[in-house]
Amino acid sequence: MNSDVIVKTVNLKKYYEIRSKYLKRVIGYVKAVNGVDLEIKRGETLGLVGESGSGKTTLGLVLAKLVKPTDGKYFLKGIDITYSLPKNLRGKIRIVFQDPYSALNPRLKIVDTLIEPLLAQGVDKENAKEKVAKYLKLVGLSEEYLESYPHMLSGGQRQRIMIARALVTEPEFVILDEPTSMLDVSTQAQIIELLKKIKNEKNLTYLFITHNLAVARYLSDTIAIMFSGQIVEIADKKTIFSNPLHPYTKTLLSAYPSPDPSSTWSPEIPEDIDNNTLIYNQGCSYAGRCPLRKDLCLKTSPELIEVENNHKVRCHIYKDRT
Amino acid sequence: MVSSRLKVLEEVLRIKRVRYGIFILLSLAILSIFVILFSPFEYDRISPRVHLPPLAGSDTSWPHILGTDNLGRDVFTRTFYAFALDLGCALAVVILSGSIGLAIGIASSYLGGVIDAVLMRIMDIVISIPGFMLAIAIAAVLGSSIFNAIIAIAIVTIPVYARLVRSVVLSVKESLFVLAAKEAGLSDLYIVVKHVLPHVIPTFITQASMELSNAIIYIAALSFVGLGAQEPVPEWGLMISSARRYVREAWWTAVFPGLVMFLTVLSFNLIGDGLRDYLDPKKRTVIGVQVETS
Amino acid sequence: MMFSRRIVIAVVVAVIVIAIAVPLVITKLTISQPVQKVLVVGTTYDPKTLDPAQAYDIASAIVIQNIYDTLVGYKPGTSELAPKLAERWESNENASVWTFYLRKGVKFHDGTELTADIVNYSIERAKKLQGPPAFLLDVIDKVEVVDKYTVRFVLKHPFSPFPALAAFTIFSSVPPNATNLDEKPIGTGPFKLESWKKGEQVVLVANKDYWRGPPKVDKVIIRIYPDPTTLRVALEKGEIDIALGIQPQDIEALSKNPNIKMVSIDGVVIEWLGMNHRRAPFNNTLFRKAINYAIDYDYILNIVLRGTATRLYGPLPPAIFGYDPEVEKYGYRYNPELAKKLLAEAGYPEGRGLRELELIISSAERAERKDVAAVIQRNLKEIGINIRIVDLDWSSFLDRLFNHDFDMYMVDWFPDYVDPDDWIVPLFTTYGLGIDGYNNTVVDELALKARQLTELNERIALYKQLQKIIVEDAPWAFLYVPKLYVFIQKNVEGFILYPVYYIDFYPVEKK
Amino acid sequence: MARNIAQYIFYRLIQAVFSIFGVIVVVFLLSRVLPGNPAIAILGPKATPENIEKVTREWGLDKSYFEQFLIYISRILQGDLGDSYVMGYSVGRLIAERLPASIELVVFAFVLSLIIGIPLGILSARKHDTKTDLILSTLAVMGFSFPSLLLGILLLIFFGINLGLPVSGRIDPRYSINVYTGFILLDTLLNGNINAFLDAFSRIIPPALTLAIPLAGLLLRLTRNSVLEVMMQDFVRTAKMKKLPENIVMYKHILRNALLPIITIAGLYFAVLVTGDIVVETIFAWPGLGRLIWEAVSLRDYMVIQGSVLVVSIIYIVVNTVVDILYMYIDPRIRG
C-alpha cells in the first residue's frame, strides 16, 4: 500500500431497507452506495461529482463515520476504521455540511457550538475557548462573533463557523458536502477561496462533494463521477475534462460550458424501457439513460476498469480497449 | 447583545391572549395570597350565620364578600384558599406526569427498538381508556384522598407527554445540528441534554399549561364525586359538591367557587392557546387538541 | 350570501330560544293526569334486592313491606307491636319458647294459602340463604309446626324482644315454589310487583285479593331520585305524591309550602361519635368526657340539621320504652371551658402531646354527616384536638369499623327490632358488636338480665339503670336522633308515619 | 390504492384488537391490586363464607395470576362481566340498561353543538380578523374553558329554578312508556305520546347544553381554523377566479374540507362523552352510565367500576377505529 494514500475504501456499500407502509416488512433496498473503491492521497482534493440522488452525500456520511456501511472496508492511514475509530484518530476525519442554516443549533451561542468537538475530546473549557478563537480568526471572523447566536449571522458567516468547527480538532481528512450550494454566488467564491487557502496552510486532504463541475474543477485534483451509488469514472481533472469516457460524464460535460465548442455531445437518448427491467436485472445502472446502450448493458453490470493511467471508467464500451 | 431567551419572552408577552391569561391568573393569585395572609376568617371557621348572601356583614370588620356557606364559613376565603390548593395540586400532577412522560418520551425515542415499541404500546393502551374513567378507577382502588387523586390523574396524563416528547425528539433528532453534534463526537447523553431537550421544552411547556387546566378540572371532578379532597379542606369540587344540596337557597356557595375555577382554567387555556400559535402558526390547533394537517 | 352574519346569528338564537321555550310552554300546558289512581313515590335510594331473606337496607325494606307481610306488625303510627300474619302470640315463662297463631285464609299473590309449614319453610330458607340479615335468626334453635295455623319458635336462650324481632322483613313468608324472589317477589301483601328498573323505578300494582281488602290506589310507582335536590324539585312540581328521603336542609322551606303536607315523627335511629377505647388517648375516660363537652350540639342541631333532629343524651332514643327523661339532666352539654379543663386533667393540656386523630365517616347515604363532621373537627380544634376527616364508602367504612382500625367514627344505628335490647346489647356489651372496645361488666350483666325478663316494668327499671351507668362512662359522644319526615301532596290522604321507618302504602288514598 | 386501503383497515383493526387486549390487562391488574382478598373486594365486607368460596371458585382466585387472567379473558369473551353483589344483578345487565340513556344524551348534545358551533365557525372564518371574529373566538375559548361543574350548576339554577322546568331524570314517571329502543325521545314518539315526548325533550335540554357548550366552543374554533386554511388554498382561489358563485365555493370545497377536523373531534369527544360525563349525569340525575359509575364509586362496587371501564374503553376504541377509517375515505390525501 502506498504510504501517502491517506483514505482508502474497498467495495464500500450502504443499503437502506424499504419497508411496507403498515406491517413494516422489508420489501427491497435502496442501494445508496453500491461498491465504492476510492484512494485519496495526502494533500489531494478529490472532487466527487454527481446528480442529486446519486449517493454522494451518503458516501460522505459513511466516510465521516456518521453512517455505518453495510459492507466493505474503510481505511484511514492504513488502519481499518470500518467499524470503530481508534481513540487517537478521533477528530481526524471531519465533515462540513451543505446547509449552514440548520447545521447550527439556534439555541446555542457560537462559542458553545465551536467548542463542542473539543469538549468531546476531553479538552477543558478554557483551553477550548482559546483555541476556538484562533480558528475563528483563521476563517476570517472576528472574536466578537463568539457570543452571537446563529440567527444573527449570514449564510456565509455560518458556513465559516462550520468550517472553523471542523478544523478545531486538527483533522487530516475533511469531507466537504456541497459546502457552498446554499449560499449566494459572491459568498460561494469567498468560501471556496477560504477552503483552498486553508488546505494549503494545513496540508489537508479534501473530499469535495458537489454537483457543480465548475467548482469541482477549480478546487479538485482528481474528479470522480458518481451515478446511482457507483463511481462511473475517475481521473485527474485535466483528463476528465479533456477526455471524458463514460456516456454519463459526457452528458454532464455537455451541460457544462466547454472551452472547446467542437466537442459538443448531443446524443439521441433511446426510447424508454420498462423501469422494472432495469431495477430487477443485473445490468448497468446507467443503461436506462444511455444512448450507447447494447444488449450486454442490460445483462451484466460493468466493472470499473483502468483505461489509461489513473483513468478508470465503468462502461462496457471500453472493455476491449485494455 | 440581547439574549435570545429574553426576546422570546418579550414576543410571547406581546400575544394578547397570553397577556390576558397571565393578567387573570396573577389577579387571582394576588387575591389568593392576600386572602391566605390577611383574611380574618379561617377557612374552617364555622359560625351560626349560615347562607348569608354575598356582601353580608359579619361579626368581624370584614364583610362576607361572597357570603357564607351551610356552616357559616366564608365563601370568599374558602374559594381563594381553594385556588392555592387546586393550583398546587394541578402543578403537582403536571410535574409528576410531565417528568415521567418526559423521561419515557426521551427513553423511547432514543433507545428505539423493542423498548420504544413496548413503552409506546403501553402508552397507547393507557390513552385508549378515557382519562377520567381510568382516573376514577385508580383513585377508587387507592382510596379517597387528595394525594391519591393527584397520583391517579398523573398516571392518566403521562402518555400525553410521552407521545409529544417522543415525536418532538424524533424530529429534532433528524435535524442537521444534531447530526453535526454527533459528528463532533459528542455522547448521546450530552446531545440529548444540550441539543434535543431545549427544543422539546417550548412544546412541553405549552402542553403543560393546557394540562394544568385539565388537571384542575380533573381534581375538582374527582373531589366532586367523592374521590378527592375531604371536608373541611377548601377545594372547588368538594365545595360545589356540598353546595349543590343548597343551590336553591344559596346559589353563591356553588357559583363563586365555580366561577373562580372557570377563570383559572380559562387563563391557562388562553396562555396555552397563545403559546401554541406562537410556536407553530402553521399547525392548525385548537385548545387541547392537535389536528394534524397532511 | 347564505352565511351572512345576521342570518347565522338569527338561526343560532332561534335554535336556543326554541330549545328553551318550546318545552317550557308545552310542559306548562300539557301535563295531563293519567287516568288510573297512581301513587308516585319519590325516594333517594334504589332497592338492592326484593328478597326478604336478603334485604337489609331501608330502600329494599320499603318495597318488601308492601309486597310481603311479616308475622307481627305495628299499631298505626307507633312502635308498639300489633298482629299481622299472626293473630296473636305467647311465650313460656322465661321467654325462650314463642308460639304464634296464624291468621286463616291468607293467600299469596299466586294463590297459595299461608300455613305454618310455609312460615317454617320461609325461616329455614332464610337461614339457609345466609343473606345479610340472617344473623337475626341465630337466636332461633328450631321451628316447630304445631298444626296448620300454629307455629312454635324454640330459642337458644331466653329472649323477650322476640315478637319485636318478628316484625322484621326477614320474617316475611314466601311461597315454597317461588324462584328468583330477588327480582320477582311473590308475597301476601297489599301490592304485587309489576316491574323494577334498577336505578329508575319500581312499579307495584294493587293486590285486589288482599286479606285486609284491596288497597285504595291502583298502582304505586316508587321512583328513584338519587339526587335529593331533584327529589325536592320533583315534589314541588307535583311529579311525585310522596317524597321519602328529603334532606334536612330542604325541610324548612318545604314545611312552608302550602301545597305540601309535612308528616313527621321522632325516630328511633341514633347518631353518635364513636371512639376506639383500645387506643390512647381514648382509653382515658377524662379524654372522652372532654370530647363530650367540646361539641357544640346546639349548632349541629339548629344550624346543620336545622331542627330536624333531637338531641341524644344517652344510649336510647326518646321514642322507645325504657328511655329515662332524667338523662337530659345528667347528660353532656356544650361546655368548652370544662372540656379544656378535662383535657388538661387527662394529660393533654391544650392538646399538647396528641397526635392528629382520624375521624372516619361514610357520607354517601347521609350527606349532612360530612357537615356534622366538619363542625366536630372545628369544635375539637378549638380545645386543641386536631382531627382529620376521612370519608369512606360504606363497605370500607364497615371494614375498618369491624377490624377496629379507627380512632373515631360517626355512624347511625337502625334497630333491627324495636326494643331497648337492640341498642344496649349490640352497642355496649362485650357480647355485642364490640366496635368501640367498651368494657363494663356491670353493663354486661344488667343487659343480659333485662332480655330474660318478661315483666315490662322490671325491664324498664333495668334500662334506666343502664343508661345512667353508660352515660357516666362516656363511651361515645352522643349526638342526635334524626326525626322522620315525609312530605306528601295535599290530595294524598291516609298516610301514616311510623317511628321505625315502616312505610305502608296500603291505607293511602289519592283524592 | 385499493390494496393500500385494505392494508390500512387491516392494520387499524389489528391495532384496535391489541388496544382492547391491553385494556383488559389493565383492568385485570387494577382488580388484583385491590387491598385484601379480591373476593371480599368483589363481595363487600359482609360476604358470607359460602359466597366467598363461590366467587373464589368462579374466578379462580386461588390459582396463579396467569390462570386467573385466562379465566378472566374467557369470561369476558363470553360477555360475562361478573355480578355486582352490591347492587344485585349482573354488571353486563346494569351497563346495558344505562348505556342507551348516555348515548341519547351524547347524540343530542353533539347535534346541539354542531348546530351552534359550525355556522358560527364559518361566520368567524369569513369575517376573520374583524370584531365579529374576535368576539366569536373569545366566546369559543370561554365556552371551552367552562368546567361542567359550573355550567351544570348554572343551568340547573336557570332551568330548574328560574324557569321552573323539571331538571332531573329522563321523563316524568307518571308516563308509562313501552320501551322499544331504550332512547326515550324515540320511544315516546313510537308510543304516540306527544306529551311524554315533550316532557322528555325538556329534560334532556339542560344536561345536553352542559355537554354541548364547551364542545360548541371547540367546534367553532376548529371550523374557523380549517375553513380559513382551506380558503387560503389554491383551488378555492381558482374556484373563485372561475367566478363560481360564492355559495357553491363555500359548500363544495370549504365545507368538505372543514368536515375532516369535525370528524376527528367527533371521534375523540363522542367516545369520551359516551362514558356519560360523570359530573353532568350526577348533577342532572341522568340515569346513564356516568351516573352508574358515580353510584358504583360511592358504593365502592368494584365489579361495576371495572366493567364500566372495560365497556367504555372498548366503545372508545371501536369509535376511534371507525373514525380513522372513515377519515381515510373522506380525505383522499391520506390514502396514498
* Structure ipTM: 0.76
> CA-CA distances (angstroms) from residue C458 to C419, C429, C451, C452?
14, 20, 11, 11
Q: Report the largest interatomic distance among the alpha carbons of chain A, rounded to a whole angstrom.
A: 66
Cell of C356: 392528629
Collect all residues of chain D within an 8 Å Cβ-Cβ radius of residue C200.
Answer: 169, 287
Strands C357-361 and C408-413: parallel
Q: Is the pLDDT assigned to residue B279 strictly greater than 70?
A: yes
Query: Residue C480's pLDDT is what?
Result: 94
Q: Is B46 part of any domain?
A: no
Question: How many residues are present in chain C?
Answer: 511
φ and ψ at residue A181, rounded to 5 degrees: -70, -20
- A269-307: burial string, b at 16+ Cβ within 10 Å, e else: eeeeeeeeebeeeebbbbbbbbeebeeebbeebbebeeb
In a domain, C43, yes or no: no
| DSSP 8-state symbol, A172 | S
Question: Is B144 part of a structural domain of the chain?
Answer: yes
C-alpha cell at C398: 364497615
CB C117 within 8 A of CB C127: no
Q: Residues of B with CB below 8 A from C397's CB?
A: none
pLDDT tier at D248 (50, 70, 90 boundaries)? Answer: low
* A164 in contact with B, Cβ within 8 Å: no
Sketch out chain A's domains with CATH numbers.
5-92+169-256+272-321 (3.40.50.300)
Q: Does the CB of D69 have a partner CB in chain B at under 8 Å?
A: no
Q: Which residue out of D202, D224, D308 would a mutagenesis test of the C interface target, given it has the greatest number of C Cβ atoms within 10 Å?
A: D202
Out of A158-172, C28-42, C215-229, C235-249, the most confident range is A158-172
Dump pLDDT digits (tens) for C375-427.
999 999 999 999 999 888 777 788 888 889 999 999 998 888 889 999 999 99
The confidence score (pLDDT) of residue A185 equals 83
DSSP calls for D113-134: HHHHHHHHHHHHHHTTTSHHHH
| Between A100 and B26, residue with greater pLDDT | B26
CB atoms near residue D106 (< 10 Å):
26
Q: Do B179 and A107 touch (CB under 8 A)?
A: no
Domain assignment present for residue C507? The answer is no
pLDDT of residue D69: 85
Could you tell me the three cell numbers for B198?
431545549
CATH of the domain at C280: 3.10.105.10
Q: What does the pLDDT average to over A287-307? A: 81
C216 CB burial (10 A radius; 0-12, 13-18, 19+): middle
State the alpha helices, DSSP H only, in D127-169. 131-145, 148-155
**Fold annotation for D96-300:** MetI-like fold (1.10.3720)
Residues of B in contact with D333 (CB under 8 A): 294
Contact B287 D294 (CB under 8 A): no
Specify the long-range contacts of residues B280-285, CB closer than 8 Å, at least 24 apart: B284/D222, B284/D225, B284/D226, B284/D229, B284/D261, B285/D225
**D164, C38: Cβ pair inside 8 Å?**
no
Domain total for chain C? 2
Q: Tell me the three cell numbers of residue D67.
A: 390462570
Q: Which of C171, C199, C215 is the C-terminal boundary of a domain?
A: C171
CATH of the domain at B153: 1.10.3720.10
C74, burial (CB in 10 Å: exposed 0-12, middle 13-18, buried 19+): buried
CB C312 within 8 A of CB C272: yes
What is the widest separation between alpha-carbon atoms in chain C?
Answer: 98
Phi-psi region of C103 (alpha: psi -120 to 50; beta: other; left: phi over 0): beta
B213-247 in b/e form (b: 16+ CB < 10 A) is: bbbbbbbbbbbbbbbbbbbbbbbbbbbbbbbbbbb
Instruction: Name the grid cell of C477.
Output: 359522644
Domain identity same for C336 and C447: yes
For residues D230-258, b (16+ Cβ closer than 10 Å) or e, as one string?
Answer: bbeeeebeebeeeeeeeeebbeebbbebb
Q: What mean pLDDT, rounded, does chain A reach? A: 83
pLDDT per residue as tens digits for the range A146-174: 888 888 888 889 999 999 999 888 888 99
The closest of B103, B41, B102 to B75, measured between CA atoms, is B41
CA–chain centroid gap for B54, Å, is: 29
Q: Which residues contact A248 (CB under 8 A, 6 or more apart)?
A: A225, A227, A232, A233, A286, A289, A290
| Residues linked to residue C309 through DSSP beta bridges, in sequence order | C482
Q: Which of the listed residues C171, C192, C216 is the one where a domain comes to its end?
A: C171
Q: At B143, which amino acid appears? A: G
Dihedral sign of CA atoms D71, D75, D77, D78 in order: positive
The Cα–Cα gap between A206 and A173 comes to 6
Query: CA-CA distance, C342 to C294, in Å (whole number)?
Result: 10
DSSP D181-214: SS-HHHHHHHTT-HHHHHHHHHHHHHHHHHHHHH
- In this prediction, residue D335 carries a pLDDT of 46
Does pLDDT of A269 surpass 80? no
Q: Is residue C382, in this structure, part of any structural domain at all?
A: yes
For A78, A124, D122, D133, D330, the CA distances from D229, given in Å and listed in that order, are 59, 52, 12, 15, 18
Of the pLDDT bands very low, low, confident and very high (cuts 50, 70, 90), residue A259 is low
Find residues 295-324 of chain D whose CB sits inside 8 Å of chain B: 297-298, 300, 302, 305-306, 308-309, 312-313, 316-317, 320
Residue range(s) defining the domain that contains residue C119: 68-171
Q: Which of C167, C144, C70 minimizes the C-alpha distance to C114? A: C70
Q: Cα distance from B140 to chain D (closest Cα, Å)?
A: 7
Nearest chain B residue to D304, by CA: B137
Q: Identify the pLDDT of residue B287.
A: 38
- Please check whether residue D11 touches A, CB under 8 A: yes
Where do the H-state alpha helices sit in B128-196? 131-142, 146-173, 176-183, 188-191
pLDDT in tens, B93-152: 999 999 999 999 988 988 888 888 889 888 888 888 888 888 888 888 888 889 999 999
- Domain of residue B260: give its range: 11-41+78-279
Residues of D in contact with A21 (CB under 8 A): 4, 7-8
> For the residues B148-170, what does the mean pLDDT come to?
91
Give the end of a domain, one of C171, C194, C212.
C171
Q: Choose among B235, B244, B82: nearest CA to B145.
A: B235
Work out the minimum CA distance from A107 to partner chain B, whole angstroms: 8
Mean pLDDT of chain B, nearest integer: 84
Query: Shortest CB distance from A66 goes to which of B4, B182, B198?
Result: B182
Domain tally for chain B? 1
Interface contact flag, B244 C390, Cβ < 8 Å: no
pLDDT at residue B2, rounded to an integer: 42
Q: Is B7 on the interface with A (CB under 8 A)?
A: no
3-class secondary-structure state, position D79 = coil
State the DSSP string of C448-496: HHHHH---HHHHHHHHHHHHHHHHHH--SEEEEEEEEEEEEETTEE---
d(Cα B6, Cα A313) in Å, to the nearest integer? 58
Cβ contact, residue pair D50, C130, below 8 Å:
yes
CA distance A190 to chain B (A): 23
Asked if D140 contacts D218 with a C-beta cutoff of 8 angstroms, the reply is yes
Lowest mean pLDDT across A161-170, A253-262, C133-142: A253-262
**pLDDT tens, position by position, D175-206:** 767 777 878 888 888 887 888 888 888 889 99
The number of angstroms, rounded, from the C-alpha of D216 to the middle of its chain's C-alpha atoms is 15
Chains C and A are in contact, defined as 3 or more C-beta pairs closer than 8 angstroms: no
Q: Is C37 inside any structural domain?
A: no
